[in-house]
Amino acid sequence: MKKVVIGMSGGVDSSVAAYLLQKEGYEVIGLFMRNWDSLVNNEQIGISDDNIICPQEQDYNDALLVCNKLNIPLHRVDFIKEYWDYVFKYFLDELEKGRTPNPDLMCNKYIKFDLFIEEAKKLGADYVATGHYAKIDGNRLCRALDLNKDQTYFLAQVSPEQLKNVLFPLGEVTKEEVREIAEKLNLVTANKKDSTGICFIGERNYQKFISNYLKPNPGKIIDVKTNKEVGTHTGLMNYTIGQRRNIGISGYKDKHYVVGKNVKENILYIAFGENNEYLYSDACILENVNFISSKKPTFCTAKFRYRSTDVEVILEYLENNEILVKYPSTVKAVTPGQACVFYLGQECLGSGIIKEIHRDNKRIDYL
């Protein structure tokens, strides 16, 4: 009997994934990762006093109840220091550069599909599994059956070597079916709310949470069209390109959006109007390019955000492992620091991190 070590998060997805592996005849072992500790990481502002037990301990308790119900062992491992060094420090560094990072991609790259796999091997794993909605087809990473929950976007910085001997039991089931299975099994996680917020940290008041680690640095909000000051921001790290709500200016009837940042001058640029030209670009340059597939096409589709639709793009391969991506000028709010993920049909080819954006063959230099 082949042995599978599955990452148990205390949520419904990993719970049902463990059951499905059991059903297929594997010997299943659970492994819970603890990657954040508010006290160790000096998180003093923004913690709710409502919870008697911290969220990660509740997740562990739920994972333990599920494993007991399924009669599988559950092990526990701490990656608190490693998460800080490889994921959270990257997150803070990117914010200081005025960018909008996606820590979930780096968590998968350095924690879930690196350190976790090494720990699973110590437990004698033949395979490693997670509750991600994705599929492995041969050596290809492919979208899940449930396209609304597909998580290949977050896996697109993982190397092909890291995906060897990895199983995704939820690749062929929908979220609705996962909930139904959990209810039939009477699992404690059946109706548990899906986790949101920063990977492994959970829900927080974002601005209060970030203020634990980056000092607020108020500055001017400038209308990019008129170059007039229209308000004061609370710190560039608190805003992202395309943001419309909670910008901090009042007295204007027209909708307004964040369209750029000048880190050197500590200026936040906004533009008025829902379809103003400053929200749009037609090209970007990617760095930290990672290909899962051996295919490196000139034409493919791409997603610029997790929930965005696929866009047809042209790829031009540059020096220093960078790529120039050209796309229709109707693409809105492409954001430095976010991932651009490539697809050919159902296959996820890989990704790069957006370094800079262009319009009309010119870099938008206030970003």
Task: Give CA separation, 51 vs 16, 34, 92, 336, in Å.
Answer: 26, 18, 26, 36
How large is the angle between the packed helices 12-23 and 55-70, nearest 10 degrees? 20
Which residues are CB-neighbours of 93 under 8 A, at least 6 positions away? none
Task: Give CA separation, 208 vs 46, 90, 178, 329, in Å.
Answer: 5, 19, 34, 36
Task: Give CA separation, 174 vs 13, 216, 348, in Å.
Answer: 10, 42, 19
348 is catalytic: no
| 237 C-beta neighbours (distance < 10 Å), count | 26
Backbone angles phi, psi at 204, to 5 degrees: -145, 160
Annotated catalytic residue within 67, 142, 199, 348 = 199
Annotated catalytic residue within 107, 284, 340, 348 = 107
CA separation for the pair 123, 74 (Å, rounded): 11
Apex 334 CA angle, 87 and 227, nearest 5:
110
CA separation for the pair 216, 317 (Å, rounded): 39
CA separation for the pair 361, 259 (Å, rounded): 18
| 245 C-beta neighbours (distance < 10 Å), count | 5
Backbone angles phi, psi at 122, to 5 degrees: -65, -25
- Selection from 316, 315, 310 nearest residue 343 by Cα: 310
**148 by DSSP, 3-state: which?**
coil
Which residues are CB-neighbours of 10 under 8 A, at least 6 positions away? 32, 58, 59, 60, 61, 62, 63, 66, 189, 192
107 is catalytic: yes
CA separation for the pair 65, 86 (Å, rounded): 30
What positions carry a catalytic annotation? 107, 199
